[in-house]
A and B are shown apart, each in its own frame.
Chain A
Amino acid sequence: MVLLYLLEKEFKQFFRDPGLPKMAIAFPILMMLVFPYAVSMEIRNINLVVVDNNRSVASSDLIQTCTSSGYFNLINICDDPTWAMQQMDKNRADAILTIESDFDRCLERGEELPVGIKVNTINGTKGSIGAGYLTSCVRRYYAEKSPRIQQNYTAGPQLDISSKYYFNPYLDYKQFMVPALIAIAITMLTGFFPALNIVSEKERGTIEQINVTPVNRGVFILCKLIPYWAVAFFVLTACLLIARLVFDYSCVGSLGLMYLFTACNILVTSGMGLLISNYSDNAQQSMFITWFFMMVFMLVSGIFTPIASMPGWAQAITYLNPMRYYADAMRAIYMKGSTLADLWADAAGLLAIGTTMVVWAILSYKKTT
């Protein structure tokens, strides 16, 4: 009876809040419709300047190959390297492709191609990926041209490498980000709100009034958490639906498993929220602490950068990061169809961190000081 009434009160307050219900709706929409595009690591629109000293059919073919790849914006074709360099200095060019004057002759003879690539690496990712694209364009061009040319010469052994991308055949970055963005959305929602809610009761003094009633403290806290669990599952469902309806992505693995991992993750974030609310006296403090941890969790979660490419010490830290396990599991289930048997390590990680958080939160909570 008391529990139901407490829950009713929490839901009433939630829906009466001028911002919270709108947030719960807007958050998954924003996460699913805007961020898959925004956080894309695909590099497009690389501004390219070509210095063509050859001006032959062969060189214009190469330029054609590069621009038709769709990654480059051809700014200009010139024959003055200084002008091209100036364009890069002014940040108008991201890459310069230099074609030397003996380009067509070298191609005919099957010699090494005299081609130079310069990239602007102010934005490191754009630079290195741009250089990669440009190199592969030149290679593709050479592969297309050389068999015809090489017929005139002794045929050497040919390597035919074809790559196949498993689980995401078109290397669609959005599909890769959808489960990770769900992980971020759920962690943020269930991490921030319960802590803020409890701390605001502290700030307004209402918790004093509750503490002098015979209501059990555990029941009170539970009623604070349940509404946000409901919100989390609502957001998860909404995100999956949006991904399905808008991008036509569907979960390869079991949906039930996604909900199970979400429940495990909620254990962690709720425990953390309680812990933070125990140690902070006002909303600002709890907001800042939560924000700090969320930032760290996200950056070393493997969502944006692969954990395997981090230095050893950073990799060690990620074992303490619940988001690492959650994001990994969500991606594996969503894209690969992994089962609980495959993901037991992630589940164990989440449960271990979650249990620690909850126990610590209970121990650090003092009813009377």
Chain B
Amino acid sequence: MIEAIKVENVSKHYGACVALDHISLGVQPGEIYGLIGPDGAGKTTLFRILVTLLLPDNGKALVEGLDVARDYMAIRRNIGYMPGRFSLYQDLTVAENLDFFATMFGTSVAENYQNIKEIYAQIEPFRDRRAGQLSGGMKQKLALCCALVHRPSVLFLDEPTTGVDAVSRKDFWNMLYRIRKAGVTILVSTPYMDEASLCDRISLIQKGRIIKTGTPEEIVAQYPHRLFGVSGNPAYPLLKFLRRSPNVLRCFSFGSEHHVAVSPGQTGREDLLKQIQDAGFRNVTVREINPNIEDCFMELAKEEGQKS
């Protein structure tokens, strides 16, 4: 089976700034593949290469077996792209935007209505409203409809949930699962680590390099340390204290808790609790926790930083 997206050794730099540094990845047909990384990691650059808006400096990128540099016209007919920024015509109405993009792909809304029905039904009551006057969530649905109206086999979603509220985000992921059911391959990027576990497979990307690829479960399972959630007063000196502590490997602040990584078998929960209480912190709790993707990302980013 050919991979829906294949990236081999792709690099791209803007002047002296390296945006992508020898990236390789493969996406299987019909999976939701997540590109997880902070802002400026190179996610958008990779998207722009894959949707044929940008040429890589070197390396090879294939979408549905077609080369992005050579067969860009064929690729364009087969993909849907939703950029991170809303980029439909704000002065055209919802229906006009949809008609417009359908026509640009040489098809019509009527022909593909089944394909977008579920999502379009939610914005259809506002079909005569100008796109610029829609709410953020509705704009996003319209953009998704426009990206799907020509039945693409691969869908590229660049940070689709940035700036969208928690409920709409959940809604959006449910829509993605329905789209996947129709056999569409989805490549999605997000800076939100909690969305990583919603993907079938993910790549963690940082500073233009992929630091880990796998299913979310695999990545979490490979976390090498024991992890404790520690809270206590005062919080900031506690963080500094933990970072100085000789048997603590890493310590990051996660909301109200500090996530403390220790080598397995070296330090137990009781040891840690005693150490902190002895140092004079109040209301101290220490509990063993399972690592999440963000813990893994921090760990891997740190390792990567030490390597280079």
Interface residues of A (CB under 8 A from B): 1-2, 5-6, 9, 12-13, 16-17, 204-206, 208-215, 368-369
Contact = CB atoms under 8 A, between A and B. Distances in A.
B90 interface: yes
Given A208-B83, A209-B81, A368 B53 contact: yes
B100 A5 contact: yes
B151 to A, nearest CB: 14
Given A5-B100, A205-B83, A368-B72, A212 B53 contact: yes
B105 to A, nearest CB: 6
Judged by DSSP, the binding face of A is helix
Contact of B53 (A1, A204, A206, A211): A211
Nearest to B132: A204
Interface of B: 51-55, 72-73, 76-77, 79, 81, 83, 85-92, 96, 99-101, 103-106, 146
B91 A16 contact: yes
Nearest to A207: B87
A209 B76 contact: no
A11 B55 CA distance: 33
Contacts of B53: 208, 211-212, 368
Contact of B96 (A12, A208, A210, A213): A12
A34 B165 CA distance: 55
10 contacts: A9-B96, A13-B91, A204-B87, A204-B90, A205-B85, A208-B53, A208-B81, A208-B83, A209-B87, A209-B88
A136 B52 CA distance: 74
A2 B101 CA distance: 10
A206 B52 contact: no
Contacts of B83: 205, 208-209
B101 A9 contact: no
Contacts of A208: 53, 81, 83, 87
Contact of B87 (A2, A205, A215): A205
A5 B51 contact: no
B106 A2 contact: yes
- The 8 A-B pairs of least Cβ separation, nearest first, read A205-B87, A213-B104, A5-B103, A212-B81, A214-B76, A209-B87, A368-B55, A206-B87
Nearest to B89: A206
Contacts of A1: 103, 106
A212 B106 contact: no
Given A205-B86, A206-B87, A208-B83, 18 more contacts: A2-B103, A2-B106, A5-B100, A9-B100, A12-B92, A13-B89, A16-B91, A205-B85, A208-B53, A208-B87, A209-B101, A211-B53, A212-B51, A212-B52, A212-B81, A213-B101, A213-B105, A368-B55
Contacts of A5: 99-100, 103-104
A204 B92 CA distance: 13
Tell which of A13, A17, A212 has the most Cβ of chain B within 10 Å. Answer: A212
A86 B215 CA distance: 94
Nearest to A206: B87
Contacts of B90: 204
Contacts of B92: 9, 12-13
A16 B104 CA distance: 21
A299 B140 CA distance: 49
B104 A215 contact: yes
Contacts of B106: 1-2, 214
A212 B87 CA distance: 12
B105 A214 contact: yes
B89 A9 contact: yes
A35 to B, nearest CB: 32
Contacts of B91: 12-13, 16-17
B119 to A, nearest CB: 17
A215 B73 CA distance: 9
Nearest to B73: A214
B109 to A, nearest CB: 12
A273 B47 CA distance: 30
Contacts of A12: 91-92, 96
A369 B45 CA distance: 12
Nearest to A204: B87
A211 B79 CA distance: 12
A368 B73 CA distance: 12
A204 B85 CA distance: 9
B68 to A, nearest CB: 9
B13 to A, nearest CB: 12
Given A9-B89, A16-B91, A204-B87, A210 B104 contact: yes
A369 B104 CA distance: 22
B132 to A, nearest CB: 10
A12 B93 CA distance: 11
B78 to A, nearest CB: 10
B103 A368 contact: no
A6 B81 CA distance: 20
A210 to B, nearest CB: 7
A368 B12 CA distance: 13
User: Which of B53, B72, B90, B104 has the most CB atoms of chain A within a 10 A radius of its CB?
Assistant: B104
B54 A369 contact: yes
Contacts of A204: 87, 90
Contacts of B85: 205
